Structure 1
Amino acid sequence: MTDADTLVAQLDAALPMPSIVRRDVVLVAGPWLGGASSVVTALRKRLPEHTVVEADEVAAGQAPAAVVFVVSATAPLTESDCALLDAVAADTDAVIGVVTKIDVHRTWRDVLDADRAVLAQRAPRYRDMRWVGTAAAPDLGVAVIDELVTALRDILADATRDRRNRLRALENRLLTVQRRLELEVAGAGRGARLGALRTERTAALHRYRVEKSQRSIALRAQVQHARLTLTYFARNRCASVRTELQEDLAALGRRGLAHFPDEVRRRAAEVADDVAAGVVRQLGDVGEELGLAVEPVDSRPAVEVRAAPSRARGAETRLMLLLGGGFGVGVALTLSRVFAGLAPQWAVGGVLGGAVIGVALTVWVVAVRGLLHDRAVLDRWVVEVIGRQRTAVEEWVAARVLAAEASLGRAAAERDAADHARTEDTIARIDREIREHATAGARAAAARDRHVPVIESALAAVGHELDALNTAKPTDSRSSESFL
């Protein structure tokens, strides 16, 4: 067992190593329009004892015995061409480079030298790679394929070919494992995923704090707006009903005054019902706007309307009788003198008529003044009743809004608690995934640190043995002679 085999055997048995199946075929591959198909046809005719295949005839996990890499003499190798060579010759050391179409490209030697330099700079294994020029399907003259056939027979007859191919496949396996270990440490997208997780975590916390603050501000604003709106509504409703009652009172006669207190009580009850309905509607709108449940309003403003004050007016009545009587006597004397002056024969009738008119005027003045007095008393009573109702209604509105604010605050606190729990679950999930990525990275780094030294030692041994084999075999890097 060689040093390379010994070092590879020391690798961890749990470390997966890709395996290949070696096929005894010659693989001809190259970039598109490079002339690979023409070379395959020519080699199949010249080497019938060997199997010559193209790239699509070699399945994944299989490796050929030798690789003929065909490129056109039109231009030097590109990066994609080099990547294709790396892929088809990854597990095969026996590689021949072929520059085709030398019959139409007189500068093919310059292209060949440029290709050799590009590959030598790309990887040390390509420094001693043999290159030949061919014209497998020339437009002019005969085919130039002999040097390629000779070179291919030399490689296939080389006693060290199998060992070199095996070492090259082993090197590729070691490099693949090493790259995989490095990729596991870096993680396929692990950095981007960790960045996304940290961004998501920050966004979740920021969103929760902002939404909580916005909901709190909205709650206070909505409650204050409801308090102002309802207080203004209750105040205006009381003012409007007071004005309406005063207008109705000013138009009432003596008979209507008896039923006026009942009307005041009815209108006061209507105001209470209207305010209660407005409070229910306004608070319901607030709850719907905030998405919170509001405790139902199960009461209404209670206003006690006291009995109307007594309209007794004894002293005022006597005074009005005296004044009315004086007014009536004055009117009677005036009428009697008028009749006596105009028609003396009607003097007695004028005195009697004046007396009657004077009495009637006295009664009318006393009645009108009494009606005005009763209206004034009831007007003051209406102002007092509505004033008490306004105070009671405003207090009731303030109490209902305060109760609604407490109810909304409790509902908002419950919602914030639920949101906080959901946010905590999200943060915990993100932190758990971050820890898992960190743990996976640590495990991958530990595995890399454990295996890479052995892999590097094995790679060095493989390289040393390959160098020894390549030095021992004859090297022929000469290219074809000039195509005439």
Structure 2
Amino acid sequence: MTGDAAEPERTVDAFVAEIAPGVLAPGVRRRDAVLVMGPWLAGTSSVLAALRNRLPQNTFIESTGLCDGDAPMAVVFVVSAVAPLTESDCALLDAAAVHTDLVVCAVAKIDLHRRWREVLDADRQLLAAHAPRYGAVTWEGVAAAPDLGDIRLNGLVEALGTQLADSQLRGRNRLRSWESQLAMAAWRYDGAADSSARAARVAALGASRVEVGRQRRMARTERAVALRSRLQQARVQLSHFARNRCTSVRSELQEDVASMTRRSMATFPADVRRRVAGVAREVDESIGEHLAEVADVLGLQTDSSFSESVSAEPVGEPPLTSRRVETRLMMLLGAGFGLGVALTLSRIFAELAPELTVAGAVLCILVGLAVTVWVVGMRGLLHDRAVLDRWVCDVTAALRADVEQSAATRVLAAETALTVSLAEHDETRSAVLAAELRTIDAELRQHALARARAVTARDEHLPIVQRALDAVRAELAQRGYARITHEEEGR
């Protein structure tokens, strides 16, 4: 770019710098070329080739011919005559002409569509409604590669050639670059001060802070209630289990006593001690497992202080003491019963076989003696069974008291230990929640400070940028009006 060609741009830069000193100039490189672009299947390639053939003195490029930071001298926007513009088509033109003021629109393929003029009028209204800067854009109908009839490109070539020859084109393009630069700067100041992302983040942080505070208040109460409820359930369940186990072993031992013989009576006390010890051990293991499960469910550390079993009272000997008076009485009664049996049998023998009276008498005496011994023995066995039955009841009652005391004592020890562990856990959890609250508060303060800085910067710089933007738009409007008036006078 020669010095004379760059003079309009320097004049525009000086004009803006006088209004808004310190604002960075647009960092674009102006290409002395015309960009031909449009939506897909709009006929852009045919229009590009035709323009290169009709205007060889100008350079025509597609969007792929531009590098980052390049801006064309003019934009030819080609659309199809099939249907009116869409919002995405307008956005495509905005991106292409962000730094270029000269835009010429062409409706292609008019040889195939008879209602192309209606589409052109609709496109003109849609584009003007999309952005005011497109209200004065020139629209032409073209047929660059017609299937029917001759090539129709004169209107586009004439309009483009006339506007490219405008001496104020470089200045207008520079003003358009400045408008985009200043509008983006104003948007950034507003966005930094009133950022929706920051507001959403602050709202999320506020909700998180409320939730953390609620957790901090509720955690201790909820876990304390859960611990108390679990321990109460454990106390009831363990007492019920111990009571049922003692009742079942008493029933089993009483059944053994009811069918006991004199021979098995000697080993019965040892069997009772073994079974009582087994029940005590089983209840102790159940208590330990249940309390360990409670601690595991609550996520607390178990302590051996409530895992130690409470030993049951030792089982003594059954009260099978000597009973001489009762034995004498039973022998007397048994002798009388046996004598009665012997006399009865002797009479029977005397009537049936008188010749065997002596032998029958001896036999009856022996039978009476055996009956006497049997009666005395059976009465003694029944007495011993009754004594053992009462002894079993006393032993199981003592066992029940011991295991229930063991369950209550160990649940109480577990409550103490788990309450201490819960307090330590709550302290740790409270420290973690407090750290989270401090982190949230620190981020909230950072957002508040950033917003305050952004508001200060906006209040300081935005009026200057807005004033420069208004001046640039006014200058663009004036030059555009002058261009349109000049073209109309020429026609």
TM-score (norm: length of structure 2): 0.80
Task: Give the aligned partner of residue 449 of structure 1.
Answer: 459
Equivalent in 308, 316, 322 of residue 312 of structure 1: 322
Q: Counterparts in 2 of 1:82-481, with a 5 A limit?
A: 82-101=90-109, 111-139=119-147, 142-187=150-195, 189-198=197-206, 200=208, 219-254=227-262, 256-296=264-304, 297-309=307-319, 311-331=321-341, 361-473=371-483, 475=485
CA distance in 2, matches of 1:345, 1:98: 158
Task: Give the aligned partner of residue 43 of structure 1.
Answer: 51
Query: Relative to 1, partners in 2 of residues 1:10 and 1:443: Cα closer, same or farther, differing over 3 Å?
Result: farther
CA distance in 1, matches of 2:320, 2:110: 134
State the 1:214 CA deviation.
Answer: 6.7
Do 2:39 and 2:79's aligned partners in 1 also have CA atoms closer than 8 Å? yes
CA distance in 2, matches of 1:109, 1:356: 146
Query: Relative to 1, partners in 2 of residues 1:349 and 1:199: Cα closer, same or farther, differing over 3 Å?
Result: same
Secondary structure in structure 1 of the residue aligned to 2:78: strand
State the 1:51 CA deviation.
Answer: 1.8
Amino acid at match of 1:51: T
CA distance in 2, matches of 1:466, 1:340: 159
Do 2:16 and 2:472's aligned partners in 1 also have CA atoms closer than 8 Å? no
Do 2:295 and 2:301's aligned partners in 1 also have CA atoms closer than 8 Å? yes
CA distance in 1, matches of 2:410, 2:388: 32
Query: Relative to 1, partners in 2 of residues 1:7 and 1:326: Cα closer, same or farther, differing over 3 Å?
Result: same
Aligned pairs, number: 480
Per mean C-alpha deviation after superposition, the further-off stretch among 273-282 and 431-440 is 431-440
Per mean C-alpha deviation after superposition, the further-off stretch among 247-256 and 388-397 is 247-256
State the 1:458 CA deviation.
Answer: 0.5
Query: Relative to 1, partners in 2 of residues 1:351 and 1:466: Cα closer, same or farther, differing over 3 Å?
Result: closer
Task: Give the aligned partner of residue 60 of structure 2.
Answer: 52
CA distance in 2, matches of 1:211, 1:184: 39
Do 2:12 and 2:174's aligned partners in 1 also have CA atoms closer than 8 Å? no
Do 2:144 and 2:153's aligned partners in 1 also have CA atoms closer than 8 Å? yes
Query: Relative to 1, partners in 2 of residues 1:465 and 1:303: Cα closer, same or farther, differing over 3 Å?
Result: same
CA distance in 1, matches of 2:147, 2:365: 157
Amino acid at match of 1:396: S
Query: Relative to 1, partners in 2 of residues 1:332 and 1:459: Cα closer, same or farther, differing over 3 Å?
Result: closer
Secondary structure in structure 2 of the residue aligned to 1:475: helix
State the 1:359 CA deviation.
Answer: 5.2
Do 2:25 and 2:178's aligned partners in 1 also have CA atoms closer than 8 Å? no
Larger RCO of the pair (alpha carbons < 8 Å, separation 6+): 1
Task: Give the aligned partner of residue 27 of structure 1.
Answer: 35
State the 1:362 CA deviation.
Answer: 4.3
CA distance in 1, matches of 2:21, 2:177: 19
Amino acid at match of 1:262: A
CA distance in 2, matches of 1:76, 1:329: 136
Equivalent in 61, 65, 72 of residue 69 of structure 2: 61
Secondary structure in structure 1 of the residue aligned to 2:178: helix
Per mean C-alpha deviation after superposition, the further-off stretch among 447-456 and 206-215 is 206-215
Q: Which runs of 5+ in 1 are unaligned?
A: none
Do 2:334 and 2:372's aligned partners in 1 also have CA atoms closer than 8 Å? yes
Task: Give the aligned partner of residue 70 of structure 1.
Answer: 78
Do 2:26 and 2:178's aligned partners in 1 also have CA atoms closer than 8 Å? no
Do 2:19 and 2:467's aligned partners in 1 also have CA atoms closer than 8 Å? no
Q: How many percent identity over aligned positions?
A: 49
CA distance in 2, matches of 1:105, 1:342: 148
Deviations 1:417-457 (A, max 9, x none): 44444444444444444444444334333322222211111
Q: Which runs of 5+ in 2 are unaligned?
A: 1-9
Do 1:35 and 1:100's aligned partners in 2 also have CA atoms closer than 8 Å? yes
Do 2:13 and 2:25's aligned partners in 1 also have CA atoms closer than 8 Å? no
Deviations 1:215-260 (A, max 9, x none): 6565455444443343233223323333333333344444554454
Amino acid at match of 2:100: T
State the 1:290 CA deviation.
Answer: 4.5
Query: Relative to 1, partners in 2 of residues 1:109 and 1:476: Cα closer, same or farther, differing over 3 Å?
Result: farther
Query: Relative to 1, partners in 2 of residues 1:394 and 1:118: Cα closer, same or farther, differing over 3 Å?
Result: closer
State the 1:175 CA deviation.
Answer: 1.1
Per mean C-alpha deviation after superposition, the further-off stretch among 199-208 and 116-125 is 199-208
Amino acid at match of 1:241: V
Query: Relative to 1, partners in 2 of residues 1:314 and 1:6: Cα closer, same or farther, differing over 3 Å?
Result: same
Deviations 1:6-52 (A, max 9, x none): 55456474x66541111222222333344433333233233333222
Amino acid at match of 1:282: H
CA distance in 2, matches of 1:333, 1:150: 161
